[in-house]
Structure 1
Amino acid sequence: MARDLPFSIQLHSARLFPPVTDHLPRLAALGYTNVEPTETLYDDPSALRETLDESDLTALSGHFSLHMLETDPDAACRIAETLGMRLLVCPFAPVEARPVVTDEWRRFGDRLAAIARLLRSRGFGFAWHNHDYEFRPLRDGSMPIQHIAADPAVHLQVDVAWVALAGIDPQPWLEGYAGRIAAIHVKDIAPRGGRPGEDGWADIGAGIVPWPKLWKTAITAGASLLVAEHDNPSDFDRFARRSIDAMRAFAAMTKPEPSTPAR
């Protein structure tokens, strides 16, 4: 895989098929080498680390709530250190606390920058994970993502499918934030009307997101983790199997052709 990036998967995708940790040996057998946990799995970080080690899996990134990152960053850092994480990701702003107008989004961006600087001082990276609402214009024409990422300290975990669902072409955004793309959520969207039982999401490579092109763009933009995700799979094992097959194909396309020795 280009730049020795691990094949990664978000464990949120397995939440409907508990216990989530039972899937780890099967994920490793499929060829995944890294997983991304969420806060629901942090009750016993040492036990989780032991389970990951038994399957020879890493957890280089993890999702942490805005509440924990702001009110108990020491706990977040202890969890991350125990699990061997290098990137802490804030996955969303709760609806009841979500900014509405431009000034509120600017202040929210300042809060994220403060988190980013604190985590960096502890040796960790920080990224914001987007949904579609960050790419919907505000009354003044700006977008929330522009205020979220106004400070260079805030990096991004770009969920490409959510960008596309906002009606935005993800490629210019990936290119525009090159150097600040810490990770990517590799997610796919079913053709219109498809997969209603899975909320319109698709296995990676089976939908309409142009992943062969975007995979290369993401790597060029500096993403060090490309993480498979499906928000509501009806069969997690199927999703994991088909998605790593697709990601292997995308990765193979990005490898440079071997040079021919001069005669």
Structure 2
Amino acid sequence: MSAPLAVQLWSVHTLAGRDLPGVLGRVAEIGFAAVEPISLYGRSPAQFRSLTDGFGLEICSAHAPFPAGDDGERTLDTYEELGVDTLVWSLEPEELATRDTMLRGLERVNDGARRAARRGMAIAYHNHFAEFTASYDGELAYDALLAALDPSVVIELDMYWVAVAGLDPAAVAARLGPRVRLLHAKDGPARGMSDQMVALGDGTLDVGAAVRACSALDWCIVELDRTAGDMFEALARSADHLTRRGLAHGRAGAGPAARPHSKEDL
């Protein structure tokens, strides 16, 4: 069975800052079932949730700092009110430079996981490419990181950055098995951080192989960091690429999106 289809709002981050209801309306009209926010765009959790509910969109997960340290409980308060059960974030590349710096970075990941678990929430770890280019005495940094993570931490695999590091995303996904619960699906030349990304199926990655290799996927999340063309067109073509091939399924009954019910929702 295919996973439901979501979109990471980083793809339209600038536009969402200007007109969040308009962006959510376009996303819903394309047929995405959910969004993964990286910001609430000046809204309270209740206001943001009212908007997504009004457009028939779920919130599959959210990118937010690991809920550790002094601000940890406030972060959890915010996202618990939003109704999000999985918070996702990454270590910085410099934290992956040595095994010691990586282990120190994981202290806040594991602290966040313990705090989240007390509220019935989960933490997911999102990779970039440094996890797959750094190594410690011959051990891939990503493998060392996974071994030291709290077992409750799940994986959001970003297939694109795996490819940038020179590895096969499908092989990595298959090796990680059921711990991969979220997938960032994207496509492009897979050369580096400044890549202009393209609609899924138009680039160098074998999107289908990567998606099919995820054995326990909860959400297939399209993210295009930047594109030279129209972002909504690229997102629509990406959604079509996934759904027509049975790799993911969109929102049931998707069509012209409803508008918010009141000015308070804005």
Q: State the TM bucket, normalised to the shorter chain.
A: 0.7 to 0.9
Whether the 8 Å contact between 1:14 and 1:20 is mirrored in structure 2 is no
Tell whether 2:135 aligns with 1:138.
yes
Q: Is the contact made by 1:211 and 1:250 (CA closer than 8 Å) also made in structure 2? A: no
Quote the residue 1:93 is aligned against: 91
CA contact 1:9–1:32 (8 Å) conserved in 2: yes
Question: Do the aligned residues in 1 keep the contact of 2:220 with 2:248 (CA within 8 Å)?
Answer: no
- Counterpart of 1:244 in structure 2 is 239
Query: Structure 1 residue 35: deviation in Å?
Result: 0.3
CA 1:77/1:237 → structure 2, altered by over 3 Å: closer, same or farther?
Answer: same
The residue aligned with 2:51 is 51
SS at structure 2 position matched to 1:89: strand
Shift of 1:20: 5.1
Residues 155-214 of structure 1: CA deviation (Å, up to 9, x unaligned) = 210000100100111223212221211200001123779xx9x72322111111111122
TM-score, normalization by structure 1? 0.83
Q: Which runs of 5+ in 2 are unaligned?
A: 250-266
1:33 aligns with 33
**Runs of 4+ in structure 1 displaced over 4 angstroms?**
none
Instruction: Provide, for residues 198-245 of structure 1, a one-character-per-residue CA deviation record: whole Å limited to 9, x for no partner.
Output: 723221111111111221112x1x120110000112422112211110
**Contact 2:46–2:82 (CA under 8 A) maintained in structure 1:** yes
Show the counterpart of 1:172. Answer: 171
Question: Any stretches of 5+ residues in structure 1 without a counterpart?
Answer: 255-263
Out of 190, 202, 206, the position equivalent to 2:202 is 206
Q: Which has the higher contact order (CA 8 A, sep 6+)?
A: 2
* Distance in 1 between residues matched to 2:218 and 2:244, nearest whole Å: 18
Q: Distance in 2 between matches of 1:214 and 1:238?
A: 23
In structure 1, distance between residues paired with 2:129 and 2:75 = 26
Which residue of 103, 119, 122 maps to 1:122? Answer: 119
For residue 246 of structure 2, give the secondary structure of its aligned residue in structure 1. helix
**Equivalent residue, structure 1, for 2:264:** none
Residue in 2 that maps onto 1:149: 146
What are the equivalent positions in structure 2 for 1:222-233 lying under 5 Å apart? Answer: 222-233=216-227
Distance 1:94 1:75 in 2: 22
Contact 1:212–1:253 (CA under 8 A) maintained in structure 2:
no
Q: Is the 8 A contact 2:161 2:190 kept in 1?
A: no
Are the counterparts in 2 of residues 215 and 251 from structure 1 also a CA contact under 8 Å? Answer: no
Query: CA RMSD of the aligned region, Å?
Result: 2.5
Change over 3 Å in CA distance of 1:12–1:70 after alignment to 2? farther
Distance 1:42 1:100, change over 3 A: farther
Give the 3 Å change call, closer, same or farther, for CA 215–252 of structure 1 in structure 2.
closer
In structure 2, relative to structure 1, the CA distance for the partners of 1:239 and 1:20 (3 Å cut) is: farther
Could you tell me how far apart the structure 2 residues matched to 1:144 and 1:246 are? 33
Decide whether aligned partners of structure 1 residues 137 and 100 sit closer, same or farther in structure 2, where only a CA change above 3 A counts. Answer: closer
Cα distance in structure 2, aligned partners of 1:191 and 1:99: 21
Indicate the percent of aligned positions where both proteins have the same amino acid.
Answer: 26
How far is 1:43 from its partner?
Answer: 4.5
On the 8 A contact 1:17/1:236 being kept in 2, the answer is no
Q: Distance in 1 between matches of 2:248 and 2:52?
A: 30
